[in-house]
């Protein structure tokens, strides 16, 4: 551990815990970018706040370790380097004094040397260095960079302290964490929302040659002590340096509270009416539509009621079977159940739906990237990968980015999901089989070992009753007679973290099925029949089991094509 720097500053952190009567003062100079705190998950929570020149700039709750920490977390203080202040604690329990005295400022944090090498760290799905993550926010593309913002609790393993974390990728695969960008204030913590490029400077925020990036978010009043008594309202922030630094609009909130809980604004530019359209979630089970010329003043237009439209509304168009002259509008909420229909800039007229989108247990609150160029033409989606990471200093992940397409099927129009082609950037060693009989008891993959794979196969079912894979002991099975795809075991997962079996009807085509399976340390994402069925699965398993098996039961099947790529880590 580096030495503690202790010169006087004009910053105050106040820690008020539930019991005890001890007061303590510490003096620091912020010379390093991290203020490091020892954490114990079972310790009582403390409320901390940071003041600069007498003004509160940060507030958060954490579990300060009374003794040996489970791990260390950090407060990013790079914006305050060179400034002075005092670290204060009031009514600090005696048994937490050791943890308080251990707080220190440095350019590194304990555990950084093992970063991205932790036992359950996803190796090609995004997860944050420290703390909890959930909804993807503000997904926007600009000048070769994909911006992923996300709900982040930097200070604890579980939900709370909502801020917008930030990561950037140039290929949708390799992500570089940029630190937290939007922090709680007196209006509330920072809940979910969307992002856009303001190409026409409708906001008037542009100061240079770059059009501003705009983030829309919910100021979640009363979700923190700082904002006690405040309602939920909608706010915006902007960046004039390609997303590196962000400024909250001085006129926030741009939309006052309407419903007891209204949140998760998502904006699109509606070309036919030459204005912004904002979709906003109402807690009673509705999505409201607003229009705006400048993202500062919003006019209510209509609402769409549906029990499936809860949390994080999303609105966009997809071409039917790739035909740019035949499109449908898509709207969905947190669960991913979607409606297809028409949208005139003021209201949505559903023609089909609600239709189930995913069949797994690793999916919620997805969002698609705005401003992807027409020359690319893809609608790219990322969701919150809902899987708990026991005994880790981080928790939860994002799903692997998928391209959404709309196809005509026997059941009507359906959205397909398939991994983005950029996954090839992390493909490693390749194994391939063609036109090979698969008899019961045989396993062509017997000599393939590992925990990270991209598996792609087409199987002629023959007279088999069941075909499938066992991936480090995790089953993916297709029951031929029932036309049923099953992921998982039906048993509760490690330590009761909700892993289990999920099922989906899957009908073969000409006696064949196709399966694409992405295998990471804590997830198995299944794409059947080229994305007709999307089944992202929680899959924390015994990583000491590195076996891979393809099998047939009750009769022989035939491997038309089977390609297995080992997958390389995206982390440095």
Q: Which segments within 293-444 are labelled E, that is strand?
A: 299-305, 314-320, 323-332, 338-343, 348-355, 364-368, 379-385, 394-395, 397-398, 402-409, 412-419, 427-438
pLDDT of 7 higher than 50: no
73 within some domain: yes
pLDDT at 178: 98
557 within some domain: yes
Q: Are 150 and 207 in contact (CB under 8 A)?
A: no
Q: Write phi, then psi, for 99 (nearest 5 degrees).
A: -65, -40
Q: What is the share, in percent, of the chain residues with pLDDT greater than 70?
A: 93
pLDDT of 15 higher than 60: no
355 within some domain: no
| Same-domain check for residues 103 and 200 | no
Pick the range with the lowest mean pLDDT from 10-14, 20-24, 228-232, 317-321: 10-14
Preceding amide of 253 cis, omega within 30: yes
pLDDT at 497: 35
| Same-domain check for residues 76 and 202 | no
Pick the range with the lowest mean pLDDT from 83-97, 131-145, 363-377, 502-516: 83-97
Q: In the listed set 57, 78, 112, which residue is the last one of a domain according to the structure?
A: 112
Q: Are 219 and 252 in contact (CB under 8 A)?
A: yes
| Same-domain check for residues 84 and 209 | no
- CB under 8 Å to 568, separation ≥6 — which residues? 124, 426, 427, 428, 452
* Span 155-182, pLDDT tens digits: 999 999 999 999 999 999 999 999 999 9
- CB under 8 Å to 3, separation ≥6 — which residues? 104
Pick the range with the lowest mean pLDDT from 54-63, 211-220, 493-502: 493-502
Banded pLDDT at 204 (limits 50, 70, 90): very high
* Span 63-121, pLDDT tens digits: 999 999 999 999 999 999 999 877 777 666 778 788 888 999 999 999 999 999 999 99
pLDDT at 499: 55
| Same-domain check for residues 65 and 191 | no
Specify the 3-state DSSP secondary structure of 425: helix
pLDDT of 39 higher than 70: yes
Distance CA 64, CA 293 (A): 47
Q: What CATH number is associated with residue 507?
A: 2.60.120.560
- CB under 8 Å to 424, separation ≥6 — which residues? none
Q: In the listed set 89, 112, 135, which residue is the last one of a domain according to the structure?
A: 112
| Same-domain check for residues 547 and 439 | yes
Task: State the number of CA atoms in the 13 A half-sphere of 116 facing the CB.
Answer: 13
Tokens linked to 472: 């480090």
* Span 290-310, pLDDT tens digits: 999 999 999 999 999 999 999
pLDDT of 376 higher than 80: yes
pLDDT at 12: 56
* Span 314-372, pLDDT tens digits: 999 999 999 999 999 999 999 999 999 999 999 999 999 999 999 999 999 999 999 99
Preceding amide of 368 cis, omega within 30: no
387 within some domain: no
Q: Are strands 84-92 and 11-16 parallel, antiparallel or unpaired?
A: parallel
| Same-domain check for residues 314 and 445 | no
Q: Which segments within 45-154 are labelled E, that is strand?
A: 46-52, 55-62, 71-76, 84-92, 104-106, 131-142, 145-153
42 within some domain: yes
pLDDT of 492 higher than 50: no
User: What average pLDDT does the segment 5-32 reach?
Assistant: 60
Catalytic residues: 135
64 within some domain: yes
pLDDT at 51: 84
pLDDT of 6 higher than 50: no
Pick the range with the lowest mean pLDDT from 26-35, 249-258, 325-334: 26-35
Q: What is the share, in percent, of the chain residues with pLDDT greater than 90?
A: 85
pLDDT of 8 higher than 50: no
Residue keyed to tokens 């790529």: 565
| Same-domain check for residues 98 and 213 | no
| Same-domain check for residues 99 and 200 | no
Any idea what the Cα angle at residue 522 is, between residues 517 and 525, rounded to 5°?
A: 20
pLDDT of 130 higher than 50: yes
496-507 in b/e form (b: 16+ CB < 10 A) is: ebebeebbbebe
Q: In the listed set 318, 341, 375, which residue is the last one of a domain according to the structure?
A: 318
* Span 428-483, pLDDT tens digits: 999 999 999 999 999 999 999 999 999 999 999 999 999 999 999 999 999 999 99
165 within some domain: no
Mean pLDDT of the chain: 93
Q: Which domain holds residue 63?
A: 11-112
**Domain count for the chain:** 3
| Same-domain check for residues 91 and 196 | no
Q: Are 275 and 291 in contact (CB under 8 A)?
A: yes
User: What average pLDDT does the segment 270-287 reach?
Assistant: 95
pLDDT at 524: 97
3 within some domain: no
Q: What CATH number is associated with residue 239?
A: 2.115.10.20
| Same-domain check for residues 435 and 542 | yes
User: What average pLDDT does the segment 14-30 reach?
Assistant: 65
Higher-confidence residue: 349 or 7? 349
Tokens linked to 301: 């237009």
pLDDT at 555: 98
């Amino acid at each position: 551990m580096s030495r503690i720097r202790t010169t006087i500053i004009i910053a105050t952190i106040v820690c008020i815990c539930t019991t005890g009567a001890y007061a303590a003062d510490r003096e620091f100079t912020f010379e390093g970018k991290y203020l490091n705190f020892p954490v114990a998950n079972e310790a009582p929570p403390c409320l901390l706040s940071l003041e600069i020149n007498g003004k509160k700039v940060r507030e958060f709750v954490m579990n300060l370790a009374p003794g040996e920490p489970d791990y260390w977390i950090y407060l990013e203080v790079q914006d305050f380097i060179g400034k002075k202040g005092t670290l204060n604690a009031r009514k600090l329990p005696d048994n937490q004094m050791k943890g308080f005295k251990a707080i220190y400022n440095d350019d590194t944090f304990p555990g950084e040397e093992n970063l991205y090498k932790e036992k359950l760290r996803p190796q090609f799905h995004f997860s944050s260095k420290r703390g909890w993550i959930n909804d993807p926010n503000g997904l926007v593309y600009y000048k070769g960079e994909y911006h992923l913002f996300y709900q982040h609790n930097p200070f604890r393993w579980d939900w709370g302290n909502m801020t917008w974390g930030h990561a950037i990728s140039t290929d949708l695969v390799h992500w570089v964490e940029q630190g937290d960008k939007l922090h709680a204030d007196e209006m509330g913590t920072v809940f979910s929302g969307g992002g856009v490029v303001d190409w026409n400077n409708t906001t008037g925020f542009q100061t240079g040659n770059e059009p501003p990036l705009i983030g829309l978010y919910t100021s979640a009043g009363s979700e923190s002590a700082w904002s006690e008594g405040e309602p939920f309202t909608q706010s915006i922030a902007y960046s004039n340096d390609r997303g590196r630094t962000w400024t909250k609009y001085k006129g926030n909130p741009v939309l006052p509270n309407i419903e007891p809980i209204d949140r998760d604004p998502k904006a699109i530019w509606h070309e036919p009416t030459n204005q912004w359209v904002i979709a906003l979630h109402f807690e009673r089970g509705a999505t409201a539509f607003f229009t705006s010329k400048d993202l500062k003043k919003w006019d209510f237009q209509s609402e769409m009621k549906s029990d499936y439209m809860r949390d994080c509304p999303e609105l966009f168009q997809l071409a039917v079977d790739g035909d740019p002259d035949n499109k449908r509008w898509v709207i969905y909420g947190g669960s991913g159940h979607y409606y297809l229909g028409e949208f005139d800039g003021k209201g949505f007229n559903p023609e089909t739906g609600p239709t189930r989108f995913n069949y797994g247990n690793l999916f919620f609150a997805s969002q698609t990237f705005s401003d992807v160029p027409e020359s690319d033409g893809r609608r790219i989606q990322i969701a919150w990968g809902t899987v708990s990471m026991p005994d880790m200093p981080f928790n939860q992940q994002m799903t692997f980015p998928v391209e959404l397409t709309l196809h005509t099927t026997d059941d009507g129009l359906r959205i397909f999901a398939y991994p983005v082609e950029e996954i090839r950037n992390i493909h490693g060693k390749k194994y391939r089989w063609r036109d090979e009989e698969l008899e019961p008891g045989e396993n062509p993959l017997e000599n393939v070992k590992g925990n990270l794979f991209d598996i792609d196969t087409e199987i002629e079912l023959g007279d088999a009753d069941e075909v499938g894979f066992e991936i480090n002991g995790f089953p993916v099975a297709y029951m031929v007679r029932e036309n049923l795809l099953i992921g998982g075991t039906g048993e509760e997962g490690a330590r009761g973290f909700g892993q289990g079996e999920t099922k989906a009807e899957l009908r073969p085509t000409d006696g064949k099925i196709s399966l694409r399976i992405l295998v990471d340390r804590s997830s198995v994402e299944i794409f059947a029949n080229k994305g007709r069925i999307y089944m992202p699965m929680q899959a924390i398993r015994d990583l000491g089991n590195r076996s891979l098996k393809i099998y047939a039961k009750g009769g022989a099947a035939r491997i038309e094509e089977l390609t297995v790529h080992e997958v390389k880590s995206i982390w440095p």
